[in-house]
Structure 1
């Protein structure tokens, strides 16, 4: 969609209808529920694997902690989430590889114990088939390029394990790419970083440019021959934090054919929450030098702290819709998706307390004038297209 067309669409979509009567509210709720059931339902970033590995939780049960489990995925219409194998940046070298394998093993346990409810998906065809069978399609991504320990052979082994996406950096620079939340040292991607992008293209892995420095983002777009994703990022024009993206980045993403997954986390959505997020980024420190079980125990404390704390936020479901509106206006309807970061944040927006509440967001977007067709694009159709273009089927 051209920028002019996208702007016109957004103007129409942002017409608020004022106070709804009870009949109108019921009609919108019914339409939202129907769309949640019918859409492919892709969320391009959740961190739920930590709960399996650290807490030993069975995601086949409905929990009153965290944001995601299989019953709540069905309730919210999220049929095909990206399960992120997130490895904190204080896992060095081979320890980061080991942690990635531990997380992948935790996912395998889920696949084997709940094989009638969830299945690994490595292509767009897989996602469509698994969702049609009434199961959750799990698309696995690695969060943080430090997890390959500067070795393309490790990247290729991740591919053999069914991993089909990788975020180039996390919260700190690695040896070949600058992060959005660190002091630049590479001026974007190094020569090896460019090799990583080329190899991901060759293998058929989604290049994820959330978390990367702006220069890293543009370097990746210069190198890639396939669409990329910002799997969990929101709009810097609304909430000015470095992990969010500028309008210029959105234009470049649209030209590349990629998709931005609007993220819900504290600070990314509402500027009233942003200062606390910026402060947290500034004070983040590296862990003491550790390895093996000692390092795992240290990381487990972090995970339990995340899931044991619910942060009060100003952000609301309406704020999330504002970010979607802005992304549609700038990049076009074909380049916007959902990337909640559920189970990776301690303060989701009010009204979107967990993944089961996704119909509330759909209802707000319906009220703003989005068509069913365009909502199905946002709710997974656009991301499915990128997966198909990257994996080949």
Structure 2
């Protein structure tokens, strides 16, 4: 739609509307979200890696604007939520939360001021990398055979990004990052982290999945892995079933614990989905499958469905409040300039 929403009918079943009806990448609309009993949805303000060092900040702000505009357009079925209390309040009123995440640290253009500004316009998680390294963090591609890390994880500036996110109350998201970046972020962050859309490496050895060693560290951190439903991350093939998604959920529960697993399907960002989990209306199928295993109590399922994420968000807010009480000022670290990779900038010496 090129950010033009006037003729976008998000309140209809898009399976019946061209071009979404023929797209393997389309799984979401208000009708199917309500059928799937979705109460809160993170929308990813994602911009491509080729915008890095160019217009990534502008494009990211435009995506945030899209999220806020269509949330307002469909209010009160959708309401903008920026806190755990907002989520709980919306749930009581049977409204659906729109939350904003930014996928890819290249959207910061190496500026903590941009990070702070994103928080002020409603962003509540940042995925540290997308499918490219930033000048301060390695992405998962460096763990592929024949590849090698550029930074070995997080640089000193990357660690300052984590600290400023903790101070702001923005959730650190480690989906897409390298194992070195996972390690460094877990060492630096005082708040729980998330993997917003990843699965278990032990069951499918994609570098986008989380190794058992990291799952154990995550349990100590109090964070969660929100399981991705992309077939290539579930079975390492382009076909999968709801049982494969359940296997990943159960594995993460076994290694990290029932308090450390959630749901982060990746709908509208994936093109191969499991049989039985074709779109956002399919969540009841997942819970029926989990109940059928006999391993999940009602309380366990509530944690998976959202209470685990809510706990993480509340803890992140608690850490933010501790920073406030301690009068910790904004971090002012500046990313060192790197030859050939800096944004187009003026020559002014501020």
CA distance in 2, matches of 1:111, 1:355: 17
- Give the drift of 1:63: 1.2
8 Å CA contact retained: 1:52, 1:58: no
CA distance in 2, matches of 1:60, 1:231: 25
8 Å CA contact retained: 2:202, 2:212: yes
> What does residue range 350-389 of structure 1 map to in structure 2 within 5 Å?
350-369=275-294, 370-389=296-315
- Give the drift of 1:172: 1.1
CA distance in 1, matches of 2:176, 2:4: 24
8 Å CA contact retained: 1:250, 1:330: yes
Could you tell me which residue of structure 1 aligns to residue 245 of structure 2? Answer: 320
CA distance in 1, matches of 2:251, 2:2: 35
Could you tell me which residue of structure 2 aligns to residue 82 of structure 1? Answer: 42
In structure 2, stretches of 5+ residues that fail to align are 21-25, 143-147, 322-350
CA distance in 2, matches of 1:168, 1:88: 14
Could you tell me which residue of structure 1 aligns to residue 338 of structure 2? Answer: none
> What does residue range 43-192 of structure 1 map to in structure 2 within 5 Å?
53=3, 57-64=8-15, 65=20, 66-182=26-142, 183-192=148-157
8 Å CA contact retained: 2:232, 2:239: no
8 Å CA contact retained: 2:239, 2:272: no
- Give the drift of 1:331: 0.5
Is 1:260 the counterpart of 2:220? The answer is: no
Could you tell me which residue of structure 2 aligns to residue 343 of structure 1? Answer: 268
Could you tell me which residue of structure 2 aligns to residue 203 of structure 1? Answer: 168
- Other structure's SS at 2:101 match: strand
- Of 99-108 and 254-263, the range deviating more from structure 2: 99-108
Question: What TM-score do the two structures reach when normalised by structure 2?
Answer: 0.84
- Give the drift of 1:221: 0.7
- Give the drift of 1:233: 0.5
CA distance in 1, matches of 2:271, 2:71: 26
Could you tell me which residue of structure 1 aligns to residue 254 of structure 2? Answer: 329
After the TM superposition, list the runs of 4 or more consecutive aligned residues in structure 1 that deviate by more than 6 angstroms. none
8 Å CA contact retained: 1:70, 1:136: no
8 Å CA contact retained: 1:188, 1:213: yes
CA distance in 1, matches of 2:71, 2:196: 23
8 Å CA contact retained: 1:229, 1:258: yes
- Give the drift of 1:52: 7.7
Could you tell me which residue of structure 2 aligns to residue 307 of structure 1? Answer: none
8 Å CA contact retained: 1:209, 1:231: yes
State the Cα deviation string for residues 142-198 of structure 1 (Å, max 9, x = none).
000000000000000001101110000011101100001134100100010000000
8 Å CA contact retained: 2:82, 2:122: yes
CA distance in 2, matches of 1:58, 1:387: 31
8 Å CA contact retained: 1:52, 1:106: no
- Of 63-72 and 331-340, the range deviating more from structure 2: 63-72
- Other structure's SS at 1:178 match: coil
Number of aligned positions between the proteins: 303
Provide closer, same or farther for how the CA distance between residues 149 and 222 of structure 1 changes in structure 2, counting only shifts above 3 A. Answer: same
Could you tell me which residue of structure 2 aligns to residue 231 of structure 1? Answer: 196
Higher relative contact order (CA 8 A, sep 6+): 1
CA distance in 2, matches of 1:54, 1:251: 44
The structure with the greater share of residues assigned to helix is 1
- Other structure's SS at 1:349 match: coil
- Other structure's SS at 2:51 match: coil
8 Å CA contact retained: 2:239, 2:273: no
- Of 320-329 and 87-96, the range deviating more from structure 2: 87-96
